[in-house]
Amino acid sequence: MGRFATGVTVVTSRHRGHDVALTVASMTSVSLDPLLLMVSLHDEARVLEGIEAGEPWGVSVLPASHRGLATWLGEPGRPLHNQLARVSHRRGEVVDVALIDDALAAFECRTFAVHPGGDHAVVLGEVVAVHASPTDAPALVHYRGALGELR
């Protein structure tokens, strides 16, 4: 699967009253009616715990300039508290979830379904708001275990 290039996103939610975030390369569009997207989250991810507790969630599509952010939010063992303290973000207008500033696009979601998938959960989200940046900045991509950019 490392030979399949993917975009890099950050999935955000809340867990026990705290904003939590995780770098995710497995996100895709599923349906236009209703508007659904899918992310795959490790069973032990705090973001997944928030989603399973009924919290809304967000997906921010990262530009190449956010490589350091993607690395930080992909590190296991990050503290629960203040995960986004050093991350420039704003609150979503519809479901009040954290969204990364300067993202190429951002989606506010409510959970449509969660399915088991080995050591991950496949999460389908109904998109309730879409934010698209007018920038033509290169996208951050994941390919063969490394982060790069795509123009």
pLDDT digits (tens, 9 = 90+) for 33-67: 999 999 999 999 999 999 999 999 999 999 999 99
Identify the structural domains of the chain with CATH numbers, from first to last: 6-145 (2.30.110.10)
pLDDT digits (tens, 9 = 90+) for 68-93: 999 999 998 888 888 899 899 999 99
pLDDT digits (tens, 9 = 90+) for 93-130: 999 999 999 999 999 999 999 999 999 999 999 999 99
Residue 114, burial from CB neighbour count under 10 angstroms (0-12, 13-18, 19+): middle
pTM above 0.85, yes or no: yes
**CA-to-CA distance for 55 and 88, rounded, in angstroms?**
21
Return the closest-CA partner of residue 12 out of 68, 116, 65, 87: 87
